[in-house]
């Protein structure tokens, strides 16, 4: 009898606990839905760059196409490596002739969802972005002429551009970038947090839920919100306290507006645990340190180690990788311009 009472009591307690836990999870979910949105089910198109299968496949080939670089050694995938984080996990990237670039390479996963591209937002979308690194002297160091000569010398590309961009002038530099952008728009990585936002309250662990609550309560969500958990605004790095290594004037270079000095696009936090090192300069390797710096520079609060750990737990729920199959790139022909390594 005693036993039975005990069991009933335990069952009641458990019932109350679970009910409370569920009610809280429900409230948390509601609050989360006010601040965030799950990944779209399908890629978001650009009106002037409608997606089709041929274009996306061509874009994938071009993404891995090392012949878009002067050396024929560097492709988009060199610095935005899809075998992992879609970054190079370097402080700043290394390009043509082993030159070091000025800023950290952001991940391409979900990048199409940002309000603009590059740390300073100087390209309006992934299509515009893809035109940049191919020509940048410290990156792929090519010229439009070289790239077009290479692509036009390869019959399979001529054919694929014609199919992806029907019309008179299919194989252009802009279309090259449009195809790459089209492929990048498909690189969406659903995570446990998306399942949670979709209504699956068990998709996050209790620790992750606590971290999410703290992330919202502390004000991180002020900038890191929306579908990409960031990526939808610009913000001065050092609103409350200066960043230790503040040299780069950021978006000021684009707008020449004093108010934009040291301002950068707020990074998306999707897959953030994979995309170290952090910040535009890649000077911070640990996620925990980055969270602490953010609290201090942007919110003016000294987060405790426990709070930092809890927020990091939540950020882990934003990780979601997908499998990518390598394309088979078509061979060069006798008229394909040769690699130019610029070495003796």
Confirm or reject binding of residue 47 to a second copy (CB under 8 A).
Answer: no
Q: Which is nearer to a second copy, 231 or 277 (CB)?
A: 277
CB 104 within 8 A of CB 282: yes
CB of 273 to a second copy, least distance (A): 6
Which helix (H) or strand (E) segment holds residue 236: the answer is: strand 234-236
Catalytic residue selected from 65, 91, 139, 208 = 139
Query: According to CB under 8 A, which residues from 66 to 105 bind a second copy?
Result: 66, 71-73, 78, 81-85, 88-91, 94, 97-98, 100
Q: Do the beta carbons of residue 94 and residue 100 sit within 8 Å?
A: yes
Active site residue 127: no
- Residue 321 binds a second copy, judged by CB under 8 A: yes
CB of 321 to a second copy, least distance (A): 5
Residue 141, C-beta contacts closer than 8 angstroms, at least 6 positions apart? 69, 70, 71, 95, 96, 97, 135
The size of the interface with a second copy (CB under 8 A), counted in residues, is 40
286 part of the interface to a second copy, by CB under 8 A:
yes
Count of C-beta atoms within a 10 Å radius of residue 331? 9
Q: Using DSSP bridges, classify how beta strands 234-236 and 263-265 pair: parallel, antiparallel or unpaired.
A: antiparallel
Asked if 131 touches a second copy (CB under 8 A), the answer is: no
Q: How far is the CB of 107 from a second copy (least distance, A)?
A: 12
Judged by CB, which is closer to a second copy: 38, or 339? 339
Alpha-carbon span 67 to 157, nearest angstrom: 12
Nearest-10 Cα torsion for 36, 42, 47, 48: 130
Q: Is 305 in the site for a second copy (CB under 8 A)?
A: no
Cβ 89 to a second copy shortest distance, Å: 7
Q: Residue 35 CB, nearest distance to a second copy (Å)? A: 26
Distances (CA, A) of 292 to 1, 42, 265, 289: 55, 35, 19, 5
* Least Cβ distance, residue 64 to a second copy (angstroms): 5
Under rule CB under 8 A, residue 186 binds a second copy:
no
Please tell me the distance from the alpha carbon of residue 204 to that of residue 36, in angstroms, as a whole number: 15
Q: Does 223 bind a second copy (CB under 8 A)?
A: no
Is 139 an interacting residue with respect to a second copy (CB under 8 A)? no
For the CB of residue 29, give the shortest distance to a second copy in the complex, in Å.
28
Q: Does 274 bind a second copy (CB under 8 A)?
A: yes
Give the interface segment with a second copy, choosing from 51-59, 179-187, 201-209, 321-329 (CB under 8 A): 321-329
- Cβ within 8 Å of residue 127, ≥6 positions away: 46, 49, 177, 178, 180, 181, 182
Residue 326 near a second copy by CB under 8 A: yes
276 binds a second copy (CB under 8 A): yes
Determine if 232 is a binding residue for a second copy (CB under 8 A): no
156 lies in the binding site for a second copy (CB under 8 A): no
Contact flag: residue 299 with a second copy (CB under 8 A): no
For residue 175, CA distances in Å to 22, 41, 220 come to 50, 25, 38
CA–CA distance, 43 with 31 (Å, rounded to integer): 26
Rounded distance, CA 32 to CA 35, Å? 5
Q: Does 48 bind a second copy (CB under 8 A)?
A: no
Residue 188 buriedness (CB in 10 A; 0-12 / 13-18 / 19+): buried
- Residues of this chain that bind a second copy (CB under 8 A): 64, 66, 71-73, 78, 81-85, 88-91, 94, 97-98, 100, 273-274, 276, 285-286, 321, 323-332, 334, 338-339, 341, 343
Please identify every residue annotated as catalytic. 139
């Amino acid at each position: 009898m005693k036993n039975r009472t005990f069991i009933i009591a335990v069952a009641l307690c458990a019932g109350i606990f679970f009910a409370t836990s569920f009610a809280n999870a429900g409230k948390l979910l509601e609050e989360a839905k006010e601040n965030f949105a799950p990944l779209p089910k399908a890629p978001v198109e650009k009106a002037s760059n409608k997606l089709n299968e041929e274009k996306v496949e061509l874009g994938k080939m071009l993404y891995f196409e090392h012949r878009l670089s002067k050396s024929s050694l560097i492709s988009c995938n060199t610095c935005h490596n899809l075998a992992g984080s879609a970054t190079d996990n370097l402080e700043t990237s290394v390009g043509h002739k082993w030159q070091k670039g000025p800023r950290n390479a952001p991940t391409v996963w979900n990048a199409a969802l940002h309000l603009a591209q590059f740390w300073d937002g100087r390209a309006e979308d992934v299509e515009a972005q893809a035109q940049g690194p191919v020509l940048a002297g410290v990156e792929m160091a090519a010229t439009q002429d070289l790239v077009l000569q290479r692509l036009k010398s390869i019959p399979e590309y001529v054919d694929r551009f014609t199919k992806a961009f029907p019309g008179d002038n299919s194989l252009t530099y802009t279309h090259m970038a449009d195809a790459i952008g089209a492929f990048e728009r498909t690189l969406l990585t659903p995570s446990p947090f998306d399942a949670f936002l979709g209504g699956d309250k068990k998709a996050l662990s209790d620790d992750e839920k606590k971290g999410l609550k703290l992330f919202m309560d502390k004000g991180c969500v002020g900038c890191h919100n929306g579908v990409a958990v960031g990526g939808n605004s610009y913000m001065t790095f050092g609103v409350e306290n200066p960043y230790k290594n503040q040299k780069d004037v950021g978006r000021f270079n684009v707008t020449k507006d004093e108010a934009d000095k040291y301002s950068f696009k707020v990074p998306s936090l999707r897959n953030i645990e994979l995309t170290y090192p952090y910040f535009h300069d890649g000077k911070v390797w640990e996620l925990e340190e980055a969270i602490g710096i953010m609290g201090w520079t942007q919110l003016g609060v000294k987060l405790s180690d426990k709070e930092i750990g809890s927020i990091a737990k939540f950020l882990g729920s934003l990780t979601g990788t997908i499998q990518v199959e390598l394309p088979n790139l078509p061979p060069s022909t006798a008229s394909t311009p040769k690699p130019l390594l610029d070495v003796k």
